[in-house]
């Protein structure tokens, strides 16, 4: 099986790029952030304290998460219910970032992620795929862009979806998540030593897809 790891900060375009590359290559796309989001959603729904490791660890036994694929689209199933839409709110983004700093949560999700890579050709995106989850991945890409550009993309996505948003608030949330994800003790966001760093600031989406596709063609044996 082949595995491509794509890591990077929020809003760098990992999921859009990974989805398009997966389509071109016939691999499955695994969005690991969705797994942390599902735990964040569950923690909020049962009133756990998302900043308290003991509180969140205590609810893990009641969680069953699986990823399903139909027409190449990933669906996140939490205790039998499709929560793919619900996990995209800003509240769940913050909860996902908080619970992802808890070691038991990361341990809990490790097998699910590795099993998907054992059984499928995957493009997996996240924060620690190249460093921790799949250290032997065939290709590792660290995708990034300036905070302002990432906030702008997210802001435009929200507006397009009809969600009211404030650019400064989006930028502030994104910078907080960047800081928290990069400075946590366990599995912080950082490029793997053998990753190829790709900065997409100033690129149109199609340019970035083309760039990544060329990197894959040249580097995936």
**Alpha carbon distances (Å) from 65 to 79, 117, 124, 131, 166:** 6, 16, 17, 23, 32
Binding track over 117-146 against ligand DC, x by CB under 6 A? ---------xxxx-----------------
Q: Taking a C-beta distance cutoff of 8 angstroms, is the pair 4, 216 a contact?
A: yes
Own/partner long-range contacts of 206-212 (Cβ < 8 Å, ≥24 apart): 208/13, 208/17, 209/17, 209/20, 209/21, 212/17, 212/21, 212/141, 212/143
Q: Between 37 and 140, name the residue whose CB sits nearer to ligand DC.
A: 37
Smallest gap from residue 221 Cβ to ligand DC (A): 24
Q: Between 148 and 217, name the residue whose CB sits nearer to ligand DC.
A: 148
Smallest gap from residue 218 Cβ to ligand DC (A): 25
> Is position 181 an interface residue for ligand DC (rule: CB under 6 A)?
yes
The single residue among 3, 13, 32, 56 that binds ligand DC, judged by CB under 6 A, is: 32
> Is position 153 an interface residue for ligand DC (rule: CB under 6 A)?
no
Cα-flanking dihedrals φ and ψ of residue 46, to 5°?
-100, 5
| Interacting residues toward ligand DC by CB under 6 A | 10, 32-33, 36-37, 96-97, 100, 126-129, 177, 181
């Amino acid at each position: 099986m082949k595995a491509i790891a794509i890591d990077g900060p929020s809003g760098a375009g990992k999921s859009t790029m990974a989805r398009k590359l997966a389509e071109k290559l016939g691999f499955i796309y695994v969005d690991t952030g969705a797994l942390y989001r599902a735990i964040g959603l569950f923690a909020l729904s049962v009133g756990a304290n998302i900043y308290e490791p003991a509180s969140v660890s205590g609810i893990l036994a009641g969680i069953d998460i699986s990823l399903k694929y139909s027409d190449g689209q990933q669906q996140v199933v939490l205790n039998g219910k499709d929560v793919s839409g619900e996990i995209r709110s800003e509240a769940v983004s913050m909860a996902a970032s908080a619970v992802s700093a808890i070691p038991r949560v990361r341990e809990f999700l490790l097998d699910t992620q590795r099993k998907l890579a054992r059984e499928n050709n995957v493009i997996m995106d996240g924060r620690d795929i190249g460093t921790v989850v799949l250290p032997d991945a065939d290709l590792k890409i660290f995708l990034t862009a300036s905070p302002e550009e990432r906030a702008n993309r997210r802001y435009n996505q929200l507006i397009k979806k009809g969600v009211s948003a404030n650019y400064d608030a989006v930028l502030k949330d994104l910078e907080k998540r960047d800081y928290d994800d990069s400075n946590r003790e366990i599995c912080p966001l950082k490029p793997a030593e053998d990753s190829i760093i790709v900065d997409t600031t100033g690129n149109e989406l199609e340019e970035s897809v083309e760039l990544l596709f060329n990197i894959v063609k040249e580097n995936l044996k």
